[in-house]
């Protein structure tokens, strides 16, 4: 696998990510071990795996999940390019989650001590790690609010709007008029929202028949964002806060 320079990383060009100095990028690159390609539907990190490396998702989709011993699965959040993978595992925590790809993906693999080295050598980037971690927690917070207190219809509307905005922020400016890539199966949606597959299907169809959205050919189209937003009880301009990319 060709070792792509972090300096030329196409993700950094996106307005979603804050600029780092040359020396910061050089530090990140020095901590990077390699890039790996992972096919869709592969488990990247197993639940309970204690020695997982640190990754950044470079391309493709993935998700974090936990399961109960009888197989019930909860997806904790979906991972998009630029997302960190595996910080929690590095923290020696008993409760670990698994990570699985949704699509073919490319991951940047970092040295095991990368999180510490970032803190030690570049406070700004160390702060960035904290920021990313706190931000990911806020995504889980939002999902917990949904799963705990929203109806099935409200949950699905929320997921569609929130994911759409996250994906759109990664597309070249102005893109996303013709929908955005959407590789989730209905089983993934169900597992992400604490619903059964059947009820997820029925609720999705109901919203689709009302003309609020369309999922077709692996793309998600939001046809009536304002109604979806109202159903979801969401607020805020939806403009994502620029984030560090490590």
Partner DNA sequence: CGACGTGTTGATCTCTCTCAATTAGAGTGG
Partner DNA sequence: CCACTCTAATTGAGAGAGATCAACACGTCG
**Which parts of this chain interact with DNA (CB under 7 A)?**
151-153, 185-187, 194-205
d(CA 212, CA 227): 7
The encoded tokens of residue 73 equal: 């699965």
Stretch that binds a copy of itself, among 31-39, 121-129, 197-205, 212-220 (CB under 8 A): 121-129
CA distance 26 to 165: 31
Return the one option of a copy of itself, DNA, none that residue 202 interacts with (CB less than 5 to 8 A, by type).
Answer: DNA
CB 128 within 8 A of CB 87: no
- Please, what is the minimum distance in Å from the beta carbon of residue 188 to DNA? 8
Q: How far is the CB of 109 from a copy of itself (least distance, A)?
A: 19
Distances (CA, A) of 106 to 12, 15, 36, 73, 101: 16, 21, 6, 24, 10
Smallest gap from residue 235 Cβ to a copy of itself (A): 8
Residue 174's alpha-carbon distances to 9, 12, 80, 169, in angstroms, are: 21, 18, 19, 9
> Does 148 sit near a copy of itself (CB under 8 A)?
yes
Q: 98-115 b/e with 16+ CB inside 10 Å = b?
A: bbbbbbebbbbbbebebb
Q: Count of residues for the chain? A: 246
> Which residue from 42, 72, 205, 206 is in contact with a copy of itself, where contact means CB under 8 A?
72
Q: Does residue 219 touch a copy of itself according to CB under 8 A?
A: no
Measured from the CB atom, the residue of 138 and 151 that comes closer to DNA is 151
Cross-strand bridge partners of residue 100: 43, 63
Minimum CB–partner distance for residue 114 and DNA (Å): 33
**Four-CA torsion 68, 70, 72, 76, nearest 10 degrees:** 20
73 near a copy of itself (CB under 8 A): yes
Minimum distance of DNA from residue 230's CB (angstroms): 17
The CB-of-71 to a copy of itself minimum distance in angstroms stands at 10
Q: Which residues bind a copy of itself (CB under 8 A)?
A: 64, 66, 68-70, 72-74, 76, 87-88, 90-97, 115-116, 119-120, 123-124, 126-127, 129-131, 133-138, 140-145, 147-150, 191, 193-194, 233, 235-238, 241
């Amino acid at each position: 696998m060709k070792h792509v320079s972090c300096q030329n990383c196409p993700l950094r060009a996106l307005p979603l990510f804050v600029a780092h100095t040359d020396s910061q990028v050089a530090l990140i690159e020095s901590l990077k071990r390699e890039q790996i390609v992972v096919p869709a539907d592969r488990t990247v990190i197993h639940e309970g795996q204690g020695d997982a490396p640190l990754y950044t998702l470079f391309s493709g989709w993935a998700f974090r999940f936990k399961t109960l011993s009888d197989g019930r699965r909860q997806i904790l959040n979906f991972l998009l390019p630029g997302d960190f993978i595996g910080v929690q595992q590095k923290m020696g925590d008993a409760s670990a989650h698994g990570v699985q790809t949704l699509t073919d993906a490319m991951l940047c693999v970092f040295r095991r001590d990368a999180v510490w080295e970032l803190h030690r050598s570049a406070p700004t980037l160390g702060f960035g790690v904290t920021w990313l971690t706190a931000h990911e927690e806020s995504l889980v917070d939002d999902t917990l609010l949904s799963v705990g207190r929203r109806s099935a219809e409200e949950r699905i509307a929320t997921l569609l709007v929130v994911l759409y905005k996250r994906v759109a922020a990664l597309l070249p400016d102005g893109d996303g008029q013709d929908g955005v890539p959407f590789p989730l199966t209905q089983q993934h949606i169900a597992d992400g929202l604490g619903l059964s597959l059947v009820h997820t299907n029925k609720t999705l169809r109901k919203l689709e028949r009302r003309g609020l959205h369309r999922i077709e050919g692996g793309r998600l189209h939001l046809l009536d964002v304002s109604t979806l937003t109202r159903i979801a009880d969401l607020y805020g301009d939806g403009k994502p806060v620029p984030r560090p990319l490590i």
